[in-house]
Chains A and B, each alone.
Chain A
């Protein structure tokens, strides 16, 4: 088993905008958030803050649903548009994140379902491991073009 998989078929793409909602709770436990999330993917970004993401056309309904479900146990903020999403697909995504990075994306423990906030090529980013061959990267839109260029170059140099 080599730590450096073949770079072939590793590609990067910018995804379409999605609905993104930050949920903070001052009472509820993590499993409550998972229940609230429903079909939306939830990732924990701070000890008390989760991001839920799902289709834009369901954004308003989800905001309304969360507001009433949370009641006084927490609050929500609509983060839609605040981040661009880049997706690296392919066997060498872990290696690609090591170029200009400081986070151990090659650690096997960083597996599907894991998330991490870190710095990549001087930019604040957030990783969400989708499956063994896919990672999504959240980055503020103003940095997205530079990050995309950087990752394309990194993949080309694998």
Chain B
């Protein structure tokens, strides 16, 4: 009996030893939502972009300090007039279907992004007049007008190069089996359940990839996402709830990282979008200034976000190089707010505030409601689910609306389309020729010092007119197992797997 047991144990041990080197490193990542269609030309969700960081390489990438760095393009050059961008494409890169990635593939992808009827990338590439291959591994973008933000666009979905063969075969249905040139290739997807990718053995930068398989699991409930991490079913989760940071700190098997994101939280005032703009709050900037002054931004972020968010008064967070330091985040000043309301000829001002119906936004806006009440604003909160809120905001059926922006790497992406008279998502319908001029000039210059000057000047006017009342900036918070190493947090919220190890 004993003998047999020993033999069995030996056999098992031997089996385990042989099996061990073959054990694949499988990284399981919990996402807050399910991604939408996995076609870089069509997709629009934040979590989709997280999946792309593993699946689809881009012409250029963004470093943690938000600088544009090479990825599929090794170097690039602007022409003197800022209307031509020439890029050298990396040699020897292959798509997941083993076809080569060359200048022709880059041109095909950019043209697909610009012409596919379903493409959501058109507005990101509007400045591009023509893209052509000027060599086997060189492409030239010719622009209608100087647009320095193009590089930032190419660091995201608009710059993800897809296999022309697959794109041609699948057309608008490319997302059912995406073929890119990222470190991992597509294996399978079950809607609302999982997206599975496996290591691409011919990846151009494969020495930096230490994971064999990555599985993304959408788990919307933050408590359950954390529970999965604690129980060991997941290795990594994104968007940990600020209230759960303490639980992760207290767990010796877990780690967390946080960094202030590039987006913002704000209130949009209806300045000129339809008849509902005809009210004192939309017409008299003094009331909006008073509203802003009545808010204690730090207290709000401390209470709602456990101190992980920062207060803000501009489209860029205070730690951003684009933040105008001459306009610091204002401290709460109820007396001054009252004086402004009085100067506008009011005693108390009724305001209807439209908010999304999630608990965090509701809690935050209830605090805000109490704060501004002390200055003289009678805020009624109108809670709706997101699709309705978006619709009402676009159509102008609101007075004040709570909205967030996920943020863009280039400062232009956080301000131009919201504030300029013809901006695609200018829901407040604020329109100021001087601001338009400044923001258009900032877009055209390749000199950061000049751009900064323009944004600073614009922010002074916006701080006065206040069509958008900025509240602050949340942090991305990631939590993961102690045995996961090499993760570098980035303000864009992405999970880059280069250098990430598990074991």
**Are A and B co-members of a single complex?**
no
Give residues in B with beta carbon < 8 Å to A: none
B-binding residues in A (CB < 8 A): none
